[in-house]
Structure 1
Amino acid sequence: MEKEQIIEKDLDAIYIGNLNTVDENLKLPLEGKYGSTFTWDTGESRFIEKDGTVHRPLHGMGNRKVILTVKALYGGCTGERVFTATVLQEAKEKTVTEIRPVSLVAETGHSYRLPSVVIVHTAQGSQTTVPVIWEEAEILEREGMVEVEGKIEDSEKKALARITFRDHVEKKKGEEKKIRFFPISDVRLKKGTLYQKYQQYMLDWLLGVDDGQMLYNFRKAAGLDTCGAAPMTGWDEESCKLKGHTTGHYLSGLALAYAATGDTRFREKIGEMVTGLKECQDAFQGQKGIHPGFLSAYDEEQFDLLEQYTKYPEIWAPYYTLDKIMAGLEDCYLLAEADMALEILSPLGDWVYARLSRLTREQREKMWSMYIAGEFGGMSGTMAKLYQITKKPEHLEAARMFYNEKLYYPMEENCDTLEDMHANQHIPQVIGAMNLYETTGETSFFDVGRHFWEIVTEGHIYCIGGTGETEMFHRAGTTCDYLTEKAAESCASYNMLRLTGQLFEYNPDGRWMDYYENTLCNHILASSSHAVDGGTTYFMPLCPGGRKEYSTDENTCCHGTGMESRFRYMEHIYASDQENVYVNLMVDSVLSGEENLEISTEMEKGSVVIRCGKDMERNLMIHLPFWGRDARVFRNQMEQKVKQHQGYVQLSPCRKGEEIRLELPVRLRLVTNEENDHLVNLACGPYLLAAISDSREFLELPPLDQFRPDGQPFHFMAKGLKFVPFPEVDLEPAHLYFKR
């Protein structure tokens, strides 16, 4: 290579971690793979020094953006590269003012367990959890009520647990599933909509991905020939400790793409990937430090270090990566009938059980409570789903071992302790709780899911349905204080939609689908790149004049979920129970199989037509969107008198050829923010409208009577500003929040 090429390759290969949320010292390399020497400079040495030492701003100063510049020198030639790091401000100091008592009902003569955390109120106005050590109480007669005290750190206040003993404790009967969703393989999107257009971009990109590159890190870790494939980049770069996670998402993306299209090319790619991973798993067996069944894109060292409570970024969420791999294999098995995927999964599940069963519950809980390092994605749900396939008791027991009491206990108690917690570290854990409820029927897991959803959607979401800023939950009712370039992580919305679908199965209420439609349309749909490059926004910039950035080669978490989100929502469009077929989302599509329905929309005209392709035996339940509750319903051109129940209208079974038409009120409307009445959003139909402007100040919204149509559906002009549906915004600077 020429000297300039060496410098370019060395600079391109630099990876120094997730710079979006820096809270630990950075390891800045001083030399490149091919021989370049590096020197670093920083524009804000008081926050990041030249050696990578990080000094977090005091709480109240806000997060700080720091520019890092690396200069490379090789053979007299030079080059440079610039990185942008966001250094998180220090956490709030918390003074405990009140400790919520623990209340427990136990059965006489049976063992019981007190939680390892208690819920506290602080002088700063927050609720949070803190670890507690309960005093040993010698209970001679287990009847009536017994009180036990506990100690928490840095407080003289005592925790209190009240245990009520009863001769018999009747188990609470939980909710039963009332509906099922039609499989993705029975649903096809119709051409001509943004949903189909952006899905096609992802389909085309997935077909062009080099499977050998996706297997590169696995083959190298297992000691196999990498077959000339190019190394992975970004979060999967060879020196990165999260490598392998993108491959797991890729497996899910391929399986979902196959289910959504029936295109056998995706099944062929699945075959190549699964065969390659099986070869890696076999090659790992017998190696020093490797236990039976193991598979990952690195060896077991990170798992060893996690058990020693090693912090991020020295390790980076090994069980999170494992979850993506296992979930991808499960999708390949369930959606594409790739039997070899189960041959990998079952022994890998055995490995998880063997690894975690050696630890005490206290050790595991300490691991899972660690920021980032202990993040385990949806492993509880992944292992529960594996148990549903294999019926191995060890796999269900392993699922229970991913019990994060710091999250689950307050959610069971319906207490919002989410402030300063990492959003997408915990949403998949709640999905896992719902999987465990489905598997075990234990009502506490359902309570976790229901209460968490209500807490998030009632106090922690932006207008687009997204949650979290710089990946973190903040205090409820404060999202308008965090309208920044790093708002609303796409992963979080993707997983909130999955959780919404789980809850809907037990109670088909329109409120679930109200949230679902808004978030799907105005965040997930809006997160897609407008090109065939696999790109998805990591954060959604909601600051004035913010510009979307699509993650394409950094292989972020949201790039991974983006491979899945273009397909998975299709399973929630249609559902059924014994008496009804549900149409939940107004997405142009065709349902085939035991039912045959077709949805066609001209949303700009407020028209939705549902055509029946065969005689139905069940009623038709149609969800009226939250913005169109006063819709008129026609059946074969005749207006129907219908009653709404939980956001749905019910029609008697349709005959082949019948047509149901909805006339929805499509008009400009203001969306107010309860937490800040000085800021509003503008919407029309299902879309939030964005103003195209590079102003970095909040714009004043023109009066609605000054808006005029601008040629395309949902496009308007007012006072020289162009307003367009947010999903249509590409790289233009945009505004979603306006001054009244």
Structure 2
Amino acid sequence: MENEKNTAQEILQEELAAIYIGNLNTVDEDLILPEQGKKGCRFTWESGEERFIEPNGKVHRPLHGMGSRKVILTVTGEYQGCTAQRRFEANVLQQEKTMDITGVRPVKIRLACGCPVCLPSVAIVTCADGRRTTRPAEWSELVKNGAYSRAEGRVEGTELPVEAEIFWEDSVSGETSAPEKKLEYIAMNGVRLAEGTPYAEAQERMVKFLLAQDDDQMLYNFRTAAGLSTQGAEPMTGWDADECKLKGHTTGHYLSGLALAYAATGDERILEKINYMVSELRICQKAFEGKEGYRPGFLSAYSEEQFDLLEQYTKYPEIWAPYYTLDKIMSGLYDCLTLASCHLAGEILFPMADWVYDRLSRLDQSVLNKMWSMYIAGEYGGMYGIMIKIYALTKKPEHLKAARLFLNEKLFYPMEENCDTLEDMHANQHIPQIIGAMDDFIVNGREQDWKISSNFWNIVTSGHTYCIGGVGETEMFHRAGTTCDYLTDKAAESCASYNMIRLTGQIFPYTVDGAMMDYYENTLSNHILASASQTEDGGTTYFMPLGPGGKRFYDTDENTCCHGTGMESRIRYQGNIYAADEKYLYVNLWIASQLFSGEKVSIRTEEEGCLKLTARENMAKAPAIRIPGWAEGKVTVLVNGEETKDFTIQNGYLYFARPLKRKETLEVRTVPELRVLATPDEKFVNLAYGSHILAALSDQQEWITLPALDAFRQTGSSHFEANGIRYVPLPEADLQACHVYFHKK
């Protein structure tokens, strides 16, 4: 009898653990709360605040100005006389701001005679509260008058007029403000991280995690959807659970993580996993082709029904971002093809791209616009970018056309006009779209894509970032310059930082601006590195808590978006360390490593603020080393231990006058200082030393006032103590409660 009761209790706990009710970080629709488990357990629900979430899942969003509200949902499970409970915390988003429009920005377009006119589908408007946003625009007939044309319209749902001026010219100047590419990165497989550094240790932990994963479990949902045997594997959990609509996304990240890990290490065990995963996914794809109602090329961890429902404007949580998941799968296959030379991945990927074109090309633009504007359900991740990259390989016009069916004018038009309309937009939903625009520029050279990408980067990094480089609170952009109003436990989503450094890496070769790499390194070392679990469990923070006494939580089994990107970001540390042009080898990041491709050099960073480059063979190109912005150009340079002035500094890079000979060393020394960093609101400050943002180890729930700098005593290479509180680099805080922002003294 006791054994039976224990079994019933175990089943109940399993049933409770398997409950998944969606992404509770941004609740804006009714929740589906299950009343029964798969094995017969009965569930009853209670809400901590029924005015916001009723026990049946009905959601009532707070009025704007009340703020988003956290609601505790408690489910009680009953099974064969046993009872147990589980708690969920839901963040119910406040209602959108009232749209009180006070101004409409006119449209101005210059075109060569004969070019078709394409007026923007949105207008940029200014609201009474000072924010800028977009609203759909309805245009009347275009009136052409020689070299000048005019169109009038109105802002949809209002009587507010919007005007467009079109200036026709015999020929539009061929000159472009878009720059040419100035350098190329050294491929990841030509670089290795030096052992013993925090970066190498984090990478090693993730590689071990990837090697330990059950490939058959990663294939579970694909095989189930295709009607194949699951080979006895355990089901996936969290966002990939049977009842979840996003299943399959983690497997896509897993493929990318494996491909990156193989490029980073050359470990043949990883290649074996890649080949197995890809060959089994090909079997799944073939199985779908034999099923009625499936178009050729389809592959996913669920049926095509989600895509059908999206075209019917079905909302989340009945569906959940089918093209977002498709992007992860396609990107994983692309990485296996390009980083691990797994050609079978291309045989799966290219028909998938054909499927995308076949599916979307038959839809009117108005349908696409409505689909992509649907929050969560219409999120499509990096589909624009992956289709562009596939087009670069296949040169099929259909793949380029399919890529541009994912254009989001609501985002792209204001970015091209250099207008910040990001307030209240989902951060990580839109950063990958900009990455896609930059992919389009890299492949096709369109000036408008350069403007969109570079303007977005400048807007985000100048007004929307926390001190660690992260963006977004509860996943959302807020008004520029207000990050200190959002120092909560849901700040700085890891996915968003992962994608911001990817975007930075794309833009940098066209600017060779040291300030861009300052942002890259700050985000990499103070957010991405800090977001990683310091065990081999593959854990990643969803958000970085930046309020007083915040503690990190590492997702290990929920299979969130950030858990997925975490499998990749630990192995991107070495991706952009080195680059080269015709004359110089660039060292962009102060990360100890060895270069095996082209120039044979090693760099060491054993002391904070000191980089030592050693030539293992005669160099053909001279070194160019980034001088960190915090060093303010104050450097000492030594060749073979002797100080030299044989260099110039430009745009944040130290250009040495000649290539090094075998065994010669070039040492760049700076003097790190403890620094107080101002914040936009002038109410808070941050503390930094060299490249590190320092965290105060304290579980105090009130803000700490930062002591004067002369009160600090250095206790280690980057460790300090003041008034009995220890200050350490943020990644080292790990699970300890800490403070990153401080009140000014």
**TM-score relative to the length of structure 2:** 0.97
Displacement after TM superposition at 1:577 (Å)? 0.6
**What is the alpha-carbon distance in structure 1 between the residues aligned to residue 423 and residue 712 of structure 2?**
39
Which of 118, 123, 126 aligns to 1:121? It is: 126
* Correspondence for 2:437: 433
- Counterpart amino acid of residue 49 in structure 1: E
* Correspondence for 1:267: 271
- Counterpart amino acid of residue 63 in structure 1: S
Q: Is the 8 A contact 1:187 1:260 kept in 2?
A: yes
**What is the alpha-carbon distance in structure 2 between the residues aligned to residue 132 and residue 541 of structure 1?**
39
- Counterpart amino acid of residue 692 in structure 2: Y
* Correspondence for 2:81: 76
Rate the CA distance shift 1:154–1:357 in 2: closer, same or farther, 3 A. Answer: closer
The answer to whether residue 534 in structure 2 is matched with residue 523 in structure 1 is: no
* Correspondence for 2:515: 511
**What is the alpha-carbon distance in structure 1 between the residues aligned to residue 66 and residue 738 of structure 2?**
26
5+ residue gaps, structure 2, are none
**What is the alpha-carbon distance in structure 1 between the residues aligned to residue 12 and residue 469 of structure 2?**
43
Rate the CA distance shift 1:172–1:318 in 2: closer, same or farther, 3 A. Answer: farther
* Correspondence for 2:280: 276
Q: Is the 8 A contact 1:187 1:591 kept in 2?
A: yes
* Correspondence for 1:200: 204
**What is the alpha-carbon distance in structure 2 between the residues aligned to residue 241 and residue 368 of structure 1?**
17
Which of 686, 691, 701 aligns to 2:691? It is: 686
Q: Please give the per-residue CA displacement for 1:568-609, whole angstroms capped at 9, x wherever unaligned.
A: 2312100001111100000011011211111111234x3221
* Correspondence for 1:215: 219
* Correspondence for 1:382: 386
**What is the alpha-carbon distance in structure 1 between the residues aligned to residue 568 and residue 644 of structure 2?**
39
* Correspondence for 2:485: 481
Displacement after TM superposition at 1:366 (Å)? 2.0
* Correspondence for 2:405: 401
Which of 413, 417, 425 aligns to 2:417? It is: 413
**What is the alpha-carbon distance in structure 1 between the residues aligned to residue 11 and residue 57 of structure 2?**
24
Which of 647, 650, 659 aligns to 1:653? It is: 659
**What is the alpha-carbon distance in structure 1 between the residues aligned to residue 259 and residue 238 of structure 2?**
24
5+ residue gaps, structure 1, are none
Displacement after TM superposition at 1:62 (Å)? 1.4
* Correspondence for 2:46: 41
Structure 1 consecutive aligned stretches of length 4 or more whose deviation exceeds 4 Å: none
Q: Is the 8 A contact 2:601 2:615 kept in 1?
A: yes
Displacement after TM superposition at 1:47 (Å)? 1.1
**What is the alpha-carbon distance in structure 2 between the residues aligned to residue 316 and residue 337 of structure 1?**
32
* Correspondence for 1:166: 169
Q: Please give the per-residue CA displacement for 1:316-374, whole angstroms capped at 9, x wherever unaligned.
A: 11111000000000000001011110000111100000011101222212222221111
* Correspondence for 1:640: 644
- Residues 444-459 of structure 1: matches in 2 within 5 Å? 444-459=448-463
Most deviating of 109-118 and 185-194: 109-118
The SS at the match of 2:251 is helix
**What is the alpha-carbon distance in structure 1 between the residues aligned to residue 41 and residue 326 of structure 2?**
34
**What is the alpha-carbon distance in structure 1 between the residues aligned to residue 683 and residue 445 of structure 2?**
46
The answer to whether residue 122 in structure 2 is matched with residue 153 in structure 1 is: no
Which of 100, 105, 110 aligns to 2:105? It is: 100
Q: Is the 8 A contact 1:410 1:416 kept in 2?
A: yes
Q: Please give the per-residue CA displacement for 1:424-456, whole angstroms capped at 9, x wherever unaligned.
A: 000000000011111211110111110000000
**What is the alpha-carbon distance in structure 2 between the residues aligned to residue 167 and residue 666 of structure 1?**
57
* Correspondence for 1:287: 291
Displacement after TM superposition at 1:171 (Å)? 4.0
**What is the alpha-carbon distance in structure 1 between the residues aligned to residue 68 and residue 523 of structure 2?**
27
* Correspondence for 1:535: 539
Most deviating of 362-371 and 32-41: 362-371
- Counterpart amino acid of residue 5 in structure 1: E
**What is the alpha-carbon distance in structure 1 between the residues aligned to residue 705 and residue 598 of structure 2?**
52
The answer to whether residue 572 in structure 2 is matched with residue 554 in structure 1 is: no
The answer to whether residue 595 in structure 2 is matched with residue 591 in structure 1 is: yes
The SS at the match of 2:415 is helix
Displacement after TM superposition at 1:59 (Å)? 1.3
* Correspondence for 1:696: 701
* Correspondence for 1:497: 501
Q: Please give the per-residue CA displacement for 1:210-260, whole angstroms capped at 9, x wherever unaligned.
A: 000000000000000111100000000111111100000000000000000
* Correspondence for 1:613: 616
**What is the alpha-carbon distance in structure 1 between the residues aligned to residue 639 and residue 374 of structure 2?**
57
**What is the alpha-carbon distance in structure 1 between the residues aligned to residue 552 and residue 120 of structure 2?**
43
**What is the alpha-carbon distance in structure 1 between the residues aligned to residue 124 and residue 213 of structure 2?**
47
**What is the CA RMSD across the aligned residues, in angstroms?**
1.1
Displacement after TM superposition at 1:496 (Å)? 0.5
- Residues 242-261 of structure 1: matches in 2 within 5 Å? 242-261=246-265
- Counterpart amino acid of residue 15 in structure 2: D
* Correspondence for 1:227: 231
- Residues 60-71 of structure 1: matches in 2 within 5 Å? 60-71=65-76
**What is the alpha-carbon distance in structure 2 between the residues aligned to residue 737 and residue 549 of structure 1?**
19
Q: Is the 8 A contact 1:94 1:124 kept in 2?
A: no
Which of 657, 668, 677 aligns to 1:662? It is: 668
The answer to whether residue 585 in structure 2 is matched with residue 581 in structure 1 is: yes
The SS at the match of 2:167 is strand
Q: Please give the per-residue CA displacement for 1:639-693, whole angstroms capped at 9, x wherever unaligned.
A: 12233100001112111111111221122111111x2212111111111110111
